[in-house]
């Protein structure tokens, strides 16, 4: 019995050290550019970010955040708009290594499908995705998360 309990504790410790579970996405994320003819008909109204898991340590450099995007889409009669995917762009803003920032930009991609029932006009949307971010140094890591005109900055500590 003691061996069994000890094994469970060791397994639990190592599972917590090696990073978060796979992120859940309501809308598929894409890192490739594509044909985005409908985006001018979309308006982002809010962008909220929360840290879900941040157990950064010697064995784990991955944290999980969630983001919620709310907005409106316009379409003509006979077309039903929807959010096809979210384009994600990641880059470092390199002023110098001490002040580096990891910038993540989220762009919802609107598409539409033919529908005889669709009346057209403006339609609201909201979705929440989880996303992993990677630390890039020991100590404080700065992240700037951008969607449309909305910018959120978070700091996560990478401990030894």
Q: Both tokens of residue 3?
A: 């061996």
Is the pLDDT confidence value at 3 over 80? no
For residues 91 and 75, the answer to whether their CB atoms sit within 8 Å is no
The phi, psi pair for 4, rounded to 5°, reads: -65, -45
pTM higher than 0.85: no
Integer angstrom CA distances of residue 55 from 64, 70, 98, 102, 156: 9, 28, 22, 18, 9
Is the pLDDT confidence value at 7 over 90? no
DSSP for 83-128? EEEEEEEEEEE-S-GGG-EEEEEEEEEEEEEE-TT---EEEEEEEE
CA angle 16, 18, 23 (to 5 degrees): 85
Taking every pair of Cα atoms in the chain, the longest distance, rounded to a whole number of angstroms, is 68
Residue 4 — pLDDT band, cuts 50, 70, 90? very low
The phi, psi pair for 139, rounded to 5°, reads: 90, -145
Average pLDDT over residues 53-62: 94
Between 14 and 46, whose confidence is greater?
46
Tally of CB atoms within 10 A around 132: 15
Bridge pairing between strands 101-114 and 121-134: unpaired
Average pLDDT over residues 131-158: 96
The domain locations on the chain are: 2-158
Average pLDDT over residues 107-133: 93
pLDDT in tens, 9-19: 444 444 456 67
Provide the CA 64 distance to its chain's centre, in angstroms. Answer: 9
Residue 125's pLDDT is: 97
Residue 17's pLDDT is: 60
Is the pLDDT confidence value at 1 over 80? no
């Amino acid at each position: 019995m003691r061996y069994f309990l000890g094994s469970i504790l060791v397994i639990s410790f190592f599972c917590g050290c090696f990073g978060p579970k796979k992120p859940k996405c309501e809308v598929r994320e894409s890192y490739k550019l594509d044909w985005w003819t409908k985006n001018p008909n979309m308006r982002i109204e809010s962008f909220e970010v929360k840290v879900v898991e941040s157990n950064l340590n010697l064995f784990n450099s991955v944290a999980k955040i969630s983001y919620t995007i709310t907005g409106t889409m316009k379409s003509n009669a006979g077309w039903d708009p929807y959010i096809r995917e979210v384009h994600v762009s990641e880059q470092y803003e390199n002023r110098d290594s001490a002040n580096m920032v990891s910038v993540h930009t989220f762009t919802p991609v609107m598409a539409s499908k033919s529908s005889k029932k669709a009346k057209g006009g403006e339609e609201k949307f909201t979705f929440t995705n989880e996303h992993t971010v990677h630390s890039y140094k020991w100590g404080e890591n700065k992240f700037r998360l951008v969607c449309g005109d909305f910018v959120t900055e978070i700091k996560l500590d990478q401990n030894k």
